[in-house]
Amino acid sequence: MQLSIPFSPDQASSYSGRVDALFAFLCVLTILFGAVITLVIIYFAIKYRRRKEDEIPRGVEGSMRLELFWTIGPFLIAMGIFLWGSSLYFTMYRPPDEALEIYIVAKQWMWKFQHLDGQREINELHVPVGRKVKITMTTEDVIHSFFVPAFRIKMDVVPGKYSKVWFEPTKPGRYHLFCAEYCGTGHSRMIGWIDVMEASEYQAWLAGGAAEGSLASSGEKLFQQLACNTCHRSDAQGRGPVLEGLFGKAVQLSDGSTVIADENYIRESILNSQAKIVAGFQKPSIMPTFQGLISEEQVLQLVAYIKSIGTKQPTEGGAAKPQPPTTQQ
């Protein structure tokens, strides 16, 4: 639904029109209720104004029918808004499976972006128009919040875990990026831009950026440097589980429960190996914890690497390449 209302920022994402539509509906509702009640009050106030100082009117009993009417009526309207709002919420917060992936590490007071291909940006993000973009975010210090008014999207970035957000830009342009969660002195300077480019321009931009190898390949290097590969080998001969094909699968844990191996799980496995132990492995995991030894960015690289080998393709970063925009979900 496309609907443009004054005082709204650009509509530049696939769902910004839908947000505006609900917003417009609520505005109409507010004006309606506001106007009707105000007019009634003014009418009564004039009609029944006090004419004599000691006048006392005859009382009016309450009315059960009216009470029910104005309890149930607003309730139904409210439930309508609730349903509308939540369906939108689901759309906006449920990440699509197929998307261009971007990683963010936020810190006081900057946004650090990492593209899968290895390009890094600070406070400015380039994305192609018409592609779904999925962002995985974490922070090195306090809570921040990723806010792009033109996309109508916002999500907090919380220390100690990954949060995710997605959008599909529909209009090329340059849009504000704000930090919306108060984070200290530089909070209002923690702003940046999202550059939405035509697909061809974007390709050119990608090619122009001097990348030091894709994110996954940096992760792979790290995987060797940190000697992860001594235990995690693709031939199932290591002391740890095989990580190929892990991502997105259900993992059976030693306490009998299962978890889906998503980014947060992999992050936790690396930083706090004792927290969740894979079924069939020794209870105090022999895997050391890497908490405090590697930076958030390095964790991200490792996660990206493990993700890239998750789709059982040859490890050489094939899966990590951005898909062409034609890919259907």
Partner 1 sequence: MREHIVSPKVYFAVFTALAVFTVVTWSVAKLDLGFLNVVVALTIAVIKATLVVLYFMHVRWSSRLTWVFVCAGFFWLAIMVALTLSDYLTRGWLTVAAP
Partner 2 sequence: MATHAGLAHHFDDVEQQREAGTLGMWAFLVTEVMFFGGLFMAYILYRWKYPSEFAVASNSLNVTMGFINTLVLICSSLTMALAVYFSQIGNRRLITVFLLLTMVLGTTFLVIKGFEYHEKYVEHHVPVRFPTYEFKWEPHVSDHAGAHEATSLAVDTGRVEMFFWLYFAMTGVHALHMIIGLGILTTLVIMTRRGRFTPEYHSPVELSGLYWHFVDIVWIFLFPLLYLIGAHLHR
Partner 3 sequence: METAAEVVPPRTHYVNARYGVKSWLLTTDHKRIALLYLASVTFFFFVGGFFAVLIRLELLTPQGDLVQAETYNRLFTMHGVVMIFFFLIPAIPAVLGNFLVPLMVGAKDLAFPRINLLSWYIYTLGATFTVIAILLGGVDTGWTFYTPYSSTYSNGNVILTGLGVFIVGFSSILTGLNFIVTIHTMRAPGLTWFRLPLFIWSHYATSLIMILGTPVIAVTILLLALERLAHIGIFDPALGGDPVLFQHLFWFYSHPAVYIMVLPAMGVISELVANMTRKNIFGYKFVAFASIAIAVFGFLVWGHHMFVSTQSVYAGMVFSILSYAVAIPSAVKVFNWTATLYKGSISYNTPMLYAFGFIGFFIIGGMTGLFLAALGVDIHVHDTYFVVAHFHYIMVGGTIMGYLGGLHYWWPKISGRMYPEGWARFAALVIFVGFNLTFFPQFLLGYMGMPRRYYAYPEEFQVLNVMSSAGASILGVGYLIPMIYLIWSMRYGPHASANPWGAFGLEWRTSSPPPTQNFEETPVVTWEAYEFHPREEREALGVMDVLDRTLRPNVNVGDRG
**What residues line the site for ligand HEC (CB under 6 A)?**
226-228, 230-232, 239-241, 243, 246, 251, 261, 266, 269-270, 273, 277-278, 281, 285-287, 290, 302, 306
**Identity of the residue, 9 or 95, whose beta carbon is nearer to partner 1 in the bound complex:** 95
Residue 251 as a binder of partner 3 (CB under 8 A): the answer is no
> Where does residue 262 rank: exposed (0-12), middle (13-18), buried (19+ CB within 10 A)?
middle
CB of 278 to partner 2, least distance (A): 13
Binding partner at 283 among ligand HEC, partner 2, partner 1, none, C-beta below 5 to 8 Å by kind? partner 2
CB 77: neighbour CB atoms within 10 A?
A: 12
Q: Total number of residues binding partner 3 (CB under 8 A)?
A: 88
Select from 1, 78, 122, 204 the one that contacts ligand HEA (CB under 6 A): 78
Residue 184 near partner 3 by CB under 8 A: yes
Q: Which residues pair with 304 in a beta bridge?
A: none
* Residue list 291-320, contact with partner 2 (CB under 8 A): 291
Q: Does 137 bind ligand CUA (CB under 6 A)?
A: no
Measured from the CB atom, the residue of 193 and 290 that comes closer to ligand CUA is 193
Cβ proximity of 102 and 178 under 8 Å: no
The two three-digit tokens of residue 307, written as one number: 């993700």
Region for residue 69 given its phi and psi (left: phi exceeds 0; alpha: psi -120 to 50; beta: otherwise):
alpha
User: One symbol per residue from 27 to 46: x for binding partner 3 (CB under 8 A), - otherwise; what is it?
Assistant: --xx--xx--xx-xx--xx-
Binding partner 3 (rule: CB under 8 A), the pick from 1, 70, 213, 224 is 70
Q: How far is CA 43 from the centre of its chain?
A: 49
Q: Which amino acid is at 271?
A: L
- Taking the complex as a whole, how short is the minimal distance between the CB of residue 99 and ligand HEC, in angstroms? 22
Residue 56 structure tokens: 């006392």
230 touches partner 3 by CB under 8 A: no
Question: Judged by CB under 8 A, does residue 284 bind partner 3?
Answer: no
Residue 229 class from Cβ within 10 Å (0-12 exposed, 13-18 middle, 19+ buried)? middle
182 interacts with ligand CUA by CB under 6 A: yes
Q: Is 155 in the site for ligand CUA (CB under 6 A)?
A: no
Asked if 143 and 158 count as a contact pair (C-beta separation under 8 A), the reply is yes
Give 96's contacts (C-beta < 8 A, 6+ positions apart): 132, 134, 166, 329
What gap in Å lies between CA 110 and CA 178, rounded to an integer?
10
Q: Which of residues 50 and 283 has its CB atom nearest to partner 2 in the complex?
A: 283
Residue 221's φ and ψ, nearest 5 degrees, are -60, -45
d(CA 144, CA 111): 10
Query: Which residues are at the interface with ligand CUA (CB under 6 A)?
Result: 109, 144, 179, 181-183, 187, 190
Query: Which residues are at the interface with partner 1 (CB under 8 A)?
Result: 93-95, 97, 259-260, 262
